[in-house]
Structure 1
Amino acid sequence: MKLNIITPVTRPQNLPAIRESIRQQLGKGIDIAWWVIFDSTCPMPADGWKDQLDEVENQVQATITGIAGHCHRNTFLMQQELRARIESLNVLKEWIYCIDDDNILHPDLVPWLVNKKAELGIYGMVAFDQVLKTGELRLKAGKIAPNHIDTAQFMWRGLRSQGVRFREDLYNADGYFAMEICQPHIEELIVNQPLCYYNYLRS
């Protein structure tokens, strides 16, 4: 099982904490690729490769900027679909997940994926509960709609998002995107268990 993690970056000072949260989950049974996309307003730091996760971390400098990193997520989706055309359609079976540059990977997500790996074969999308840094529940998975689901709350297979893009003019485009890749399909899995944080790295 491969999990592609996308992180649009305007706050490079948070990358060490995000990197460490991913590092702690390596070698546990999930093949992780981390795509770090620097916004055009945020040049890649000179020491950007310091402590890089070998064969996991991919850093690129974007020539574009936009609201909440949606344009960078779209860039990844287009690149993924191109990979599928050139390499193999199996690329579209890989999972895609977003961790913003003010958040970290929840320590329970990868172990949960490992335990459910066989069951996840029939699903194209998974949504889960979200908690604050304190552990307090912020959003319960269930209603997939704008303002009811956060970027960090769901992961999906590339097959679901073929031709679908985040709206680059809306801050809450994550909700619209999640709703669009859900319909008219029915094979999403709702998990009422906290498997992601909200703005963990914000003070």
Structure 2
Amino acid sequence: MFEPFALHDTARLGRPGDVVERLSELAAAAESELPRLFAEHVTAMLGPDPEPLAAVGRRFADMGANLLAAEAYAQASAAYRKAGDPATGRRLHTQATVTLTLCEGASTPPVAEITRLQLTVREREVARLAAEGLSNQDIADRLVISVRTVGTTCTGCSRSWGSPTGSASRGCRSRPNRSLDVAARRSSRGWWVVRRRICRRRH
């Protein structure tokens, strides 16, 4: 059971080609979804099409595996930019960053670019609450700040994440943020029972 985790970790550390064949073998014989998803992730890392990486990210997110989701989103973002689609790349970069705010400071090679960006404590608080689906007014009430401050903070997050001001701060709105990836709002389920280091559940 632990071999798929070890092989997937090897791929996450930058050596997907070394493990894809063995991981695919294990996935074919596996009864659970997780080894198959690991194999799909590694295969997507090696493929020319960025969409499978984004799709894997969404599936990890649906499981509540937020760190793995953030990694896949970040990889998809880089792949889309390389493929000449910077708009989709920026969107996925924002999604990766928002999802990463749910992981309590976790940092791994696939999200190194994101974790190097230094957000303020307030920006992290606002981004986390926005990812959970709160509106600007709800965030303002929770943090005891003005709605205007929430909007300004979202703009700061957008600039830090390298996204166009206005379009990328989609996590900060006057209405509930239903357009954000559903996984970010489901993060309270957690996935630490399967593996704590992936991303622990918030209490």
TM over 0.5: no
Higher helix proportion (structure 1 or 2): 2
- TM category (shorter chain) comes to under 0.3
TM-score by length of structure 1 reads: 0.26
In our comparison, the structure showing a higher alpha carbon Rg is: 2
Higher strand proportion (structure 1 or 2): 1
TM-score by length of structure 2 reads: 0.26
